[in-house]
Amino acid sequence: MMDEIDWLLFGLVVTAALAQLYFGERYREIFLVSKATINKTYLSMIRDLLDRHPSAGRFYVGLVSIQVFAIIALVVKSKLA
């Protein structure tokens, strides 16, 4: 059964995922995968975002960090319960 903390962490994960979708649309030229960019990694795309738009890139890195932290917290909490 999910308690309030689980719902909070799940809400953080979903909110960060929706924000990542926004960034994917807003900075389409960086995150678009085509034949020319098929070999680019996710980290290189983030580096490109940081180079071209430093403020937005730092915000994006923060979103990814929050999402990773929340997912790890959910997994650890479920394993301990």
- pLDDT per position in the chain (81 positions), as tens? 789 999 999 999 999 999 999 999 999 999 988 888 889 899 999 999 999 999 999 999 999 999 999 999 999 998 987
pTM of the predicted model as reported, rounded to 2 decimal places: 0.86
> What residues make up the domain containing 69?
4-80
Q: Which pair of tokens denotes residue 10?
A: 């799940």
pLDDT of residue 2: 83
Q: Say what the pLDDT of residue 20 is.
A: 94
Report how far residue 58's alpha carbon sits from residue 80's, in angstroms, rounded to the nearest whole number: 33
Number of structural domains (the chain) is 1
Cα dist from 33 to 65, 70, 75, whole Å: 23, 27, 30
